[in-house]
Amino acid sequence: MTNAGRDEILVLVERTAQGDVAASAAEVIGAAAGIGTPVALVVTAPGAPGEPARVAAELGAARVLLAEHPGAATGLGVAEVDALAAAVDAVRPGAVLVPHSVDGRDAAGAVAVRRGLALAVDAVGVSRGADGVIAHHSVYGGAYDVDSTVTTGPLVVTLRHGAVDARAEPRPLVLERLEVTPSGRRAARVDGVEPVGAASGRPALQGADRVVAGGRGLGSKEQFAVVEELADELGAAVGASRAAVDAGYVPHAYQVGQTGAVVAPQLYVALGISGAVQHRAGMQTARTIVAVNKDPDAPIFDIADFGVVGDVFTVVPQLVARLRERRG
Ligand code: FAD
């Protein structure tokens, strides 16, 4: 079966733990609109409010498939996989786009296995070629650009959050109910959710527009406050290198890189970070990279758009003061 010419692109609309449409939905629907006609899949518990379907149409979905599944409220991912598999059968799309979140990766992998489809993970963009949809990846810390595609079946693609700027035009809601037979597969049950970092009042690292990150160069947990001060001035999320996490300056949830969060913000400020390849793997696709490091040969300067060779404790307070002045 080849789906190369099929125009409709199936998109999984991810929801937050509170049931709202996740920020990734605008990007995934925007990416789908660039290569075809977005068909959004919204998975809810039976009788849940229809608000997410309306949001999906506002974000540009030409059709919204509403799948009611008893496992949607508490089951870990099985409802999404059951619904995605049913939607693939019903739509026969040109491709399936899913956010590259922890849950999205799970769902994408599982549906690819269930339907025998190829999976392309952590794409930073998608386009169309002669054989169908092509996924674009930035790998090895951004050192190589790689394209992947398949000649049979729709490609299942997970899209990196923050990597796609395109947004689709709003559309009127065209709602269709999708019949889904629960597979009855076993799932862990979620009894409660407590968002990490909500207490700080800062944006979440994943999906943030701006990130200020600190490394071992900050020297101590107390001195890491310099990073937080600049982040708050810019309305940015706080990130860190693994060395800063290992040294106990901040919790692991802040780590950016190969074994941490992969971010693609508009602005990434790296303070006292050398720029090891494992760190770059998590931030290299940021639109603008600013680095402050006292070593002029630090590898971070190879990828920085703006670099300051200097001591963070001299440079950052001046930067914060100037930003405050400009704000008045
Ligand atoms: P360093 O390399 O020690 O650099 C500190 C920098 O601060 C130096 O460049 C120094 O010049 C500068 N500096 C010092 N004082 C100042 C000052 N006062 N003002 C300005 N600059 C100053 N790393 C990650 O970050 N994320 C990952 O996900 C990750 N995963 C890994 C996975 C594996 C399998 C392995 C092997 C490693 C991984 N690492 C990861 C670790 C990575 O290799 C580096 O060790 C780490 O990124 C270094 O962190 P750093 O830049 O903060 O520290």
> pLDDT digits over 219-248, tens only?
999 999 999 999 999 999 999 999 999 999
User: Which residue's CA is the closest to the ligand 1 atom numbered 11?
Assistant: 295
Residue 246, ligand 1, Cβ within 6 A: no
Residue 239, ligand 1, Cβ within 6 A: no
Distance 8 CA to ligand 1 centre (A): 44
Mean pLDDT of 31-50: 93
Q: What percent of the chain has pLDDT over 70?
A: 96
Residue 95 burial (CB count, 10 A): 30
> pLDDT digits over 302-315, tens only?
999 999 999 999 99
Mean pLDDT of 273-292: 95
Res. 195 pLDDT band, cuts 50 70 90: low
How far apart, in Å, are the Cα atoms of 92 and each of 79, 87, 154, 223? 19, 8, 8, 55
Is the predicted pLDDT of residue 199 greater than 60, yes or no? no
DSSP string, 260-291: SB----SEEEEES----HHHHTTTTT-SEEEE
What local confidence, expressed as pLDDT, does residue 209 receive?
93
User: Worst-scoring range by mean pLDDT, 11-15, 48-52, 117-121, 254-258?
Assistant: 48-52
**Ligand 1, atom nearest to 300 Cα:** 9
Tell me how far apart the alpha carbons of residues 263 and 248 are, in angstroms, rounded to a whole number. Answer: 21
What local confidence, expressed as pLDDT, does residue 152 receive?
86
How far apart, in Å, are the Cα atoms of 70 and each of 109, 113, 191? 21, 22, 15
**Ligand 1, atom nearest to 215 Cα:** 52
**In contact, 93 and 11? CB cutoff 8 Å:** no
What local confidence, expressed as pLDDT, does residue 211 receive?
98
Q: Which of 230, 242, 319 to mutate to test the pocket of ligand 1 (most atoms within 8 A of CB)?
A: 242
Res. 189 pLDDT band, cuts 50 70 90: confident
Mean pLDDT of 84-99: 97
Mean pLDDT of 72-96: 92
**Ligand 1, atom nearest to 260 Cα:** 28
Q: What percent of the chain has pLDDT over 90?
A: 76
Tokens matching residue 192: 């409660």
Residue 243, ligand 1, Cβ within 6 A: yes
> pLDDT digits over 43-66, tens only?
998 888 889 999 999 999 999 999
Residues 6+ apart with CB under 8 A from 124: 136, 137, 138, 159, 160, 163, 164, 264, 285
Residue 36, ligand 1, Cβ within 6 A: no
Residue 257, ligand 1, Cβ within 6 A: yes
**Ligand 1, atom nearest to 214 Cα:** 52
What local confidence, expressed as pLDDT, does residue 5 receive?
67
What local confidence, expressed as pLDDT, does residue 197 receive?
55
What local confidence, expressed as pLDDT, does residue 260 receive?
92
Mean pLDDT of 196-219: 86
Distance 147 CA to ligand 1 centre (A): 29
Q: What is the mean pLDDT of the chain?
A: 92
Residue 209 burial (CB count, 10 A): 15
How far apart, in Å, are the Cα atoms of 164 and each of 7, 100, 147, 255, 281? 20, 12, 16, 22, 17
User: Worst-scoring range by mean pLDDT, 62-66, 120-124, 150-154?
Assistant: 150-154
Planar angle of CA 109, 155, 167, nearest 5 degrees: 100
Distance 318 CA to ligand 1 centre (A): 24
Tell me how far apart the alpha carbons of residues 42 and 79 are, in angstroms, rounded to a whole number. Answer: 11
Res. 3 pLDDT band, cuts 50 70 90: low
Tell me how far apart the alpha carbons of residues 200 and 216 are, in angstroms, rounded to a whole number. Answer: 22
The reported pTM is 0.79
Is the predicted pLDDT of residue 109 greater than 70, yes or no? yes
